[in-house]
């Protein structure tokens, strides 16, 4: 009986493995705003994109989160990116993805076939230890995937959406209040509120009405070492 059970188990395991051998494995993802190569100094004018040195892949999947349009580009270069953009792309990529100039909200991913990488282990973790770090500035975990809108959103629809920056979550409200006070002490921005409840508090900056205002806040937050927020659009 035991031998039969073991045989059934290995048969089922084999079938499951075969069914999933060609699935794609997501190795990396991040959400933020897109910039154009024309905004920065680029030596190779044939490049499709420039990404941060921390990006692990040799190609990048870019998704316009306002229209769900997706494109994979391989002609990329890695370099230090100190600005407020997650990635810089060519005009051709901007056109194909139908990126909004007012709200270039995108997700970048590295995706490989699990067949080529059977020992894949996800390189993404959620860290919720803000309470320990509020006094020395708060670093929050990677942003979550946010799916927005339907294909074909027009420019005027995108401009009605606002940007929010969210820190958290916090188990204790006192730590959220302390972060709120810290942010208000150096940001010339009134809309910094505490949301949530029941041991799940967030400190939210917003609504932010434009990319230019976001850029100003980005550099102020970066200079004070507050970089771990989620970017939300709603």
pLDDT band at 82 (very low <50, low <70, confident <90, very high): confident
Q: Verify that 57 and 108 share a domain, yes or no.
A: yes
Q: Verify that 50 and 76 share a domain, yes or no.
A: yes
Spell out the residues 6+ positions from residue 229 whose beta carbon is closer than 8 angstroms to its own. 140, 165, 166, 167, 205, 221
Q: Say which CATH number the domain at 187 has.
A: 3.30.70.1070
72 has pLDDT over 60:
yes
pLDDT digits (tens, 9 = 90+) for 163-203: 999 999 999 999 999 999 999 999 989 899 999 988 899 99
Domain with 156, as residue range(s), is 130-233
Q: Is residue 3 part of a domain?
A: no
Q: Is residue 169 part of a domain?
A: yes
Q: Verify that 134 and 228 share a domain, yes or no.
A: yes
Q: Is residue 67 part of a domain?
A: yes
In this prediction, residues 47-61 reach a mean pLDDT of: 94
Q: Verify that 69 and 139 share a domain, yes or no.
A: no
How many domains is the chain built from?
2
Q: Verify that 58 and 147 share a domain, yes or no.
A: no
Q: Say which CATH number the domain at 89 has.
A: 2.40.40.10
pLDDT at residue 22, rounded to an integer: 47
Q: Is residue 220 part of a domain?
A: yes
Q: Is residue 204 part of a domain?
A: yes
């Amino acid at each position: 009986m035991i031998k039969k059970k073991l045989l059934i188990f290995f048969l089922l395991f084999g079938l499951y493995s075969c069914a999933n051998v060609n699935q794609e494995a997501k190795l990396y993802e991040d959400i933020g705003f897109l910039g154009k190569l024309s905004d920065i100094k680029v030596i190779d004018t044939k490049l499709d994109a420039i990404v941060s040195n921390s990006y692990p892949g040799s190609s990048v999947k870019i998704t316009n989160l306002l229209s769900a349009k997706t494109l994979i580009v391989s002609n990329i270069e890695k370099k230090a990116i100190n600005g407020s953009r997650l990635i810089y792309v060519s005009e051709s990529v901007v056109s194909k993805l139908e990126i909004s100039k007012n709200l270039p909200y995108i997700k970048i991913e590295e995706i490989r076939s699990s067949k080529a990488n059977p020992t894949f282990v996800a390189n993404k973790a959620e860290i919720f230890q803000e309470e320990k770090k509020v006094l020395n500035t708060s670093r929050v975990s990677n942003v979550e995937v946010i799916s927005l809108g339907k294909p074909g959103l027009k420019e005027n629809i995108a401009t009605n959406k606002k940007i929010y920056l969210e820190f958290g979550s916090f188990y204790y409200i006192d730590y959220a209040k302390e972060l709120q006070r810290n942010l208000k002490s150096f940001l010339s921005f009134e809309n910094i509120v505490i949301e949530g409840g029941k041991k799940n508090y967030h400190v939210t900056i917003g609504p932010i009405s434009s990319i230019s205002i976001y850029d100003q806040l980005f550099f102020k937050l970066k200079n004070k070492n507050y970089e771990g927020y989620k970017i939300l659009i709603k």
